[in-house]
Amino acid sequence: MSEPKQKKFILIGLVSSLVLVLVGLGLWRAFSAPPVLPPAVKVPPAETPKTYDLGAKQQILSIVSPVPGDRLASPLVITGHARLWYFEGSFPVLLKDANGTVLATGQATAEGDWMSGKFVPFKATLVFAKPATAAGELIFKKDNPSGLPANDDQISVPVQFNLADQAWGPAPPASAPVAACHVGGCSGQLCTDEPDVISDCLYAPEYACYKSATCARQADGQCGWLPTPVLKSCLAKARAKAL
């Protein structure tokens, strides 16, 4: 073989060997390199629900304030919407601590036509002392003028209290004695701050209900008839007969 041909074959061999080395190196790197993973997907932390989930009772009552996660202190303003839950435009609201101690009671008052059968806004304000526990329970009771246990119903939600001292401030001073309320009117149908209040003597059948009712100062500081189930039932029946 001539010398030029020999050099040509040597050159071809070197090039072939280099190609084989490069291919082998590429394959080694491809199979030995760690797999390239897609970027991790960040899962956002679970958010606190914006409103209380009342399940099927959501068709009857919804709570606007407070919301889950709120740390409650006094005074507590409660707002929401309700239907088929009122009687005479209100229903009872209770606040308890984790021990079952009743911290406050009050009336949620409708801010609209409560007899419409549609959702009507309500509002209640509860004033209470600093509780002994961080957790508690807010209870919305259906107003039951009949007093029959079969007609009782309630909706309760868990709440948390703000026990930080700065949220409550100094203890309030001792309150002055509460003035008595007085029964007045020609038929004893009035409950007022002043004694011997007179009225016209036009009689209404519902006035008979007040003979066994309690005249006392209410949560708002005003004198009024204590809205017991017995009184509410009596008034409803008397007014129905008058129609």
Residue 46 falls within a domain, yes or no?
Answer: no
H helices within the chain, ranges in order?
3-32, 229-242
Residue 29 falls within a domain, yes or no?
Answer: no
Residue 210 falls within a domain, yes or no?
Answer: yes
Could you say which of 164, 190, 220 is where a domain stops? 164
Angle at 84 between CA 113 and CA 81, to 5 degrees: 65
Residue identified by tokens 């932390």 is 45
Measured in degrees and rounded to the nearest 5, phi and psi for residue 39 equal: -60, 140
Residue 120 falls within a domain, yes or no?
Answer: yes
Within 8 A by CB and 6+ apart from 196, the residues are 182, 184
Distance between CA 25 and CA 32 in Å, rounded?
Answer: 10
Q: 119 is in which domain, residue-wise?
A: 55-164
pLDDT tens figures, 92-145: 999 999 998 888 888 898 988 888 889 999 999 988 888 999 999 999 998 877
Residue 204 falls within a domain, yes or no?
Answer: yes
What is the value of pTM for the model shown? 0.55
pLDDT tens figures, 174-207: 444 557 888 999 888 899 988 888 888 888 889 9
Could you say which of 103, 134, 164 is where a domain stops? 164
Total domains present in the chain: 2
Give yes or no: residues 60 and 126 share one domain: yes
